[in-house]
Chains A and B, each alone.
Chain A
Amino acid sequence: MCSINEKTPWRTPFHALLICLLCALVPASAAAERIQVVASFSILADLARHVGGERVTVTALIAPDTDAHGYQPRPSDARLVRDARLVLANGLGFDPWIERLARSTGHDGNLVIATDGIEPLEDSGTHQGHGHDHDHAHGPLDPHAWQDVANAQVYVRNIAAALARVDSEGTAVYADNAARYAERLRQLDDEIRSTLSTLPISRRKLVTSHDAFGYFGKAYGMRVLPAAGVSYESEPSAAGIARLIRQVRREKVPVVFVENISDPRLIERIAHEGGAKVGGKLYSDALSGPDGPAPTYIDMMRFNLDTLMKGLLPETG
């Protein structure tokens, strides 16, 4: 840093002083530099931000309110991944491209799968009676594990451990942040359970345009009807839509929910013909922007719970 001055002799003591000061500042600012963390999508990034706190800068590759399915990494993403100390992926077939991206950019840091240790669910009914003729990014496992708050606890533990590995000085801070955040998650979990338990059993049914709520349904006792054949194929079949309409009619599902990321016209049609109402938007794979109703994971789960209750509570109640 100081060597550039070899040719230009220091003209005044003041210049010399200035340069020495600058040189002294460099190591200090390097120490204060935050750990660069890249997460594949917005929900994971939010969890990492809570665990990392002030010591990290977290960037999500898939922006808020954006569909993770069929996501194509851009060159700027490659640069982010290359420069990151830690790369966080969801795994379970949600973001398989990130591993390739990390390898191809020569990323020498850590790639951590946040769902390590979670007991995965099979991908529910999406592929029922259907050839694999679509490029749905999911494998046979359901990747939307974060919809169960207990799983989010596992994410948090994994993220804290990973951060401690790349930045051992911060181990205590990360453990502390993780513990505090875990407590908030426990409260969230209780809140979801106690709120949903006020619903009559016959109304604990969930139909959405995309099967992202398998974990949610299992954890909180909601019956999730698979939107078979009408999720993310480029074009749904008439048979798939008819199957879902019949199911909505048979089970007397009161409300059908639209998610933040898909074509609403289809779900409106299904609701109308099944004799159900169209409920509000549920956030499944992505947070909203900072000004939206679900800028963080906890906000998202609360907002979804609210939307569910508004739709599913019997009118008279």
Chain B
Amino acid sequence: MIANEVIGPFIEFEFMRRALAGCVALALGATPIGLFLLLRRMSLMGDAMSHAILPGAALGYLAFGLSLGAMTVGGFVAGIVVALAAGLVARSSILKEDASLAAFYLMSLAAGVLIISLRGRNLDLLHVLFGSVLALDNASLLLIAAISTFTLFALAILFRPLVLECFDPSFLRGISRLSPVAHYGFLILVVLNLVSGFHALGTLMAVGIMILPAAAARLWARSLGGMLALAVAVALVSGLGGLLASFHGDVPAGPAIVLTAGLAYVGSLILAPGGLIGTRLYRRPHLES
């Protein structure tokens, strides 16, 4: 009976299967990136970057209409430009990275809104910017899957320098010249995955499927491998749960998926060893914490 409620929608409807496939791809690609963002204390940067994608995607849309390629390239270029510009300003002026990033993303967000409203068809575009996980066509599904596959391979190659960069960036700079490779490679992966998340969930919520499962996993696991596995698992369950909530509860799919991940996070916050009660319950000797 319950199996019927869970499996039935996916058997009956192809759009549900496609949506699930998109969620699986995002969970495998975007969520590990989200975990590294979290560990590098860049969670909010992910959010800022997702807004930075807006003007590029909007320009692509205005120039070529509802074209997957144009919006993807536009969003990617805009994201990379903002990330690089913010990094450059942070290194060569007295502004810190957060301030310069905030400045650039606010500007690009405003530019995005301006570009959209220059043309009359604004609601049309909003429709697209909120994502369309329930209307994934072959092209968008392939794009999301390709980006996830690329991300997994790239992460495998960058794994060691990236981990070092997370925990001790100055040590990495001291022993290896790979530090910039790790840093910029990671930035590219972040922007790529934001663009792919944007096709499914929209710019406003793409970061949700990256950060929330990662934050929940961080509260439970202590090893990096454990965190990665758990984060991906949480993301997978959120995708499935969100789609089912949208199907049975008649609510929009994107927010349902992100809120399911949010529920996992709040539950972990309460129950997990690293959470609100956990830190008091399983208090460890000073040296370890």
Contacts and interface: CB of A to CB of B under 8 A. Distances in A.
B13 A245 contact: yes
B5 interface: no
B84 to A, nearest CB: 32
Interface in A250-269: 261-266, 268-269
A229 interface: yes
Contacts of B16: 238, 242
B251 A237 contact: yes
Given A72-B117, A263-B124, A234 B130 contact: yes
Given A69-B123, A263-B124, A273-B14, A235 B132 contact: yes
B130 A67 contact: no
B121 interface: yes
B134 A241 contact: yes
B126 interface: yes
A97 interface: no
A242 B132 contact: no
A266 B15 CA distance: 9
B131 interface: yes
B208 interface: no
B9 A238 contact: yes
A236 B16 CA distance: 13
Contacts of B131: 235
Contacts, number: 102
A235 B250 contact: no
A194 to B, nearest CB: 35
Interface stretch (B252-260, B263-271, B280-288): B252-260
A40 B237 CA distance: 48
A272 B127 CA distance: 21
A241 B14 CA distance: 11
A71 to B, nearest CB: 8
B248 A266 contact: no
A101 B66 CA distance: 32
Contact of A234 (B120, B127, B243): B127
Given A66-B120, A66-B121, A129-B250, A238 B134 contact: yes
A236 B252 contact: yes
Most buried by A among B130, B243, B250: B250
B246 interface: yes
A240 B16 CA distance: 12
B65 to A, nearest CB: 10
A51 to B, nearest CB: 25
Interface of A: 62-63, 65-67, 69-72, 129-130, 229, 232-242, 245, 261-266, 268-269, 272-273
Given A71-B120, A263-B128, 14 more contacts: A66-B120, A66-B121, A67-B124, A70-B123, A229-B250, A232-B123, A235-B132, A237-B246, A238-B15, A242-B12, A242-B13, A262-B124, A266-B135, A269-B14
18 contacts: A62-B120, A130-B250, A235-B127, A236-B253, A237-B247, A237-B249, A237-B252, A239-B248, A239-B250, A241-B13, A242-B16, A261-B124, A263-B66, A263-B128, A269-B14, A269-B135, A269-B137, A273-B13
Which 10 pairs across A and B sit closest by C-beta, in order of nearness? A66-B120, A235-B252, A238-B246, A239-B250, A238-B247, A266-B135, A265-B135, A70-B123, A234-B130, A237-B250
